[in-house]
């Protein structure tokens, strides 16, 4: 069994590495939709920040290797080089996590924008049908001019909302394309697969807190600074050093120790906050699942009425729209829960 401190990260990567099914079957030879695993993998390879951190890591690795082989290098110089390598490694890992979080945000933005545009188109169609019905009723003297004008205004507003939703979707495609390094037109033609609906169980906060010192980059950086300060004190604490120099070195060690304590406290607070946000997201997801099931039941009842001729075409379209709203809310709740999972994993790792 993996150590508790790594459990959240391992579960997250394992689930996201499971390819999602495409939302619709595509013709043979058509480009496969981008899935979350592919976006997750591509984002760090495209990120300029990750590329910079990789270059920094290469420099740090060469510096550490030279210091290790240099017979004239002091122990302090070797430790500094090793710590520089550790810091560069942690910095690269943080940049890769940041790229993946950005990929998830852009990916779900596309999925939600697709939902929003589809709903906006249905609402625009519904508004046009209501307007047509209002005109018929107005000609028959069944409604006032004010009611007809309101129906016309509603239809115009719905058309405008549909156009805005299409624009928002285009922007979302462009953002995702930039993050994963694909042409926007090709990406839009291929589409994206749904985000996996099943999430891992909630992480064990107490176990993760117990292993936090070994997993958190910020704590590790503070501990490296403490080790360096302690080595400098050993190098200064002798008869050849002035009392002031020794006092300064001891003060540096005390300061470094306080910073380790501060880093541990801050990391614990951030992890607790991330866990609380994850709890809230899971609670909202449970509520959305309940609402989605109720909406499905309601739609089925409306379907029976529609087949029995008791429901108008407009009312049936409205019922379908309400069902899709509940489904879209559920998908948005799944997306929010995944994002909180990533943020929890990031808090566990230290950024």
Q: pLDDT tens-digit profile of 79-97?
A: 999 999 999 999 999 999 9
Cβ within 8 Å of residue 222, ≥6 positions away: 256, 259, 260, 262, 263
Does the pLDDT of residue 286 top 70, yes or no?
yes
Q: Please report the pLDDT score of residue 262 as a whole number.
A: 96
Provide the token pair at 209.
Answer: 């807190």
Q: CB–CB of 288/330 below 8 Å? A: yes
Tell me how far apart the alpha carbons of residues 151 and 288 are, in angstroms, rounded to a whole number.
Answer: 31
Angle 313-349/243-307 helices, nearest 10 degrees?
Answer: 160
pLDDT tens readout for residues 295-325: 999 999 999 999 999 999 889 988 998 999 8
Q: What is the pTM of this model?
A: 0.77
The radius of gyration of the chain from alpha carbons, rounded to an integer in Å, stands at 29
pLDDT tens readout for residues 103-119: 999 999 999 999 999 99
DSSP 165-198: HHHHHHHHHHHHHHHHT--HHHHHHH-BPPPPS-
Does the pLDDT of residue 196 top 70, yes or no?
yes
Largest pairwise CA distance in the chain: 108
Q: Please report the pLDDT score of residue 169 as a whole number.
A: 97
Percent of the residues in the chain that have a pLDDT greater than 70, as a whole number: 91
Q: Please report the pLDDT score of residue 283 as a whole number.
A: 96
Q: Please report the pLDDT score of residue 280 as a whole number.
A: 97
pLDDT tens readout for residues 253-263: 999 999 999 99
The CA-atom distances, in angstroms, between 128 and each of 105, 123, 211, 324 are 34, 9, 59, 19
Which option is the CATH number for 32-195: 3.30.70.260, 3.40.50.300, 1.20.1600.10, 1.10.150.20? Answer: 1.20.1600.10
Q: DSSP class of residue 312?
A: -
pLDDT tens readout for residues 20-67: 333 344 445 567 899 999 999 999 999 999 999 999 999 999 999 999
338: left (phi over 0), alpha (psi -120 to 50) or beta: alpha
Cβ within 8 Å of residue 61, ≥6 positions away: 85, 88
pLDDT averaged over every residue in the chain:
89
């Amino acid at each position: 069994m993996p150590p508790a401190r790594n459990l959240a990260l391992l579960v997250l990567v394992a689930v996201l590495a499971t390819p999602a099914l495409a939302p619709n079957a595509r013709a043979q030879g058509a480009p496969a939709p981008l899935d979350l695993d592919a976006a997750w993998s591509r984002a760090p390879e495209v990120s300029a920040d990750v590329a910079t951190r990789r270059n920094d890591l290469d420099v740090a690795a060469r510096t550490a290797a030279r210091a290790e082989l240099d017979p004239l290098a002091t122990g302090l110089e070797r430790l500094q080089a090793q710590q520089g390598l550790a810091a560069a490694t942690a910095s690269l890992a943080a940049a890769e996590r940041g790229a993946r979080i950005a990929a998830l945000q852009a990916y779900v933005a596309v999925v939600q924008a697709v939902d929003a545009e589809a709903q906006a188109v249905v609402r625009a169609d519904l508004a046009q049908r209501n307007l047509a019905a209002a005109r018929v009723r107005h000609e028959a003297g069944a409604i006032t001019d004010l009611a007809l004008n309101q129906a016309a205004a509603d239809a115009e507003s719905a058309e405008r909302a549909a156009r805005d939703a299409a624009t928002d979707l285009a922007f979302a495609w462009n953002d995702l394309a930039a993050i994963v390094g694909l042409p926007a037109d090709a990406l839009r033609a291929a589409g994206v697969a749904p985000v996996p609906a099943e999430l891992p169980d909630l992480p064990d906060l107490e176990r993760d807190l117990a292993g936090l010192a070994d997993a958190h980059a910020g704590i590790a950086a503070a501990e490296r600074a403490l080790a360096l300060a302690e080595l400098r004190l050993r190098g200064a604490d002798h008869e050849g050093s002035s009392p002031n120099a020794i006092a300064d070195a001891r003060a540096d060690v005390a300061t470094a120790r306080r910073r380790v304590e501060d880093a541990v406290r801050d990391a614990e607070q951030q992890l607790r906050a991330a866990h609380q946000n994850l709890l809230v997201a899971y609670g909202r997801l449970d509520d959305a699942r309940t609402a989605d099931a109720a909406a499905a039941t309601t739609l089925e009842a409306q379907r029976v009425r529609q087949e029995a001729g008791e429901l108008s075409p407009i009312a049936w379209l409205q019922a379908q729209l309400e069902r899709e709203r509940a489904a879209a809310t559920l998908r948005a709740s799944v997306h929010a829960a995944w994002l909180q999972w990533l943020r929890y994993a990031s808090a566990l790792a230290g950024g």
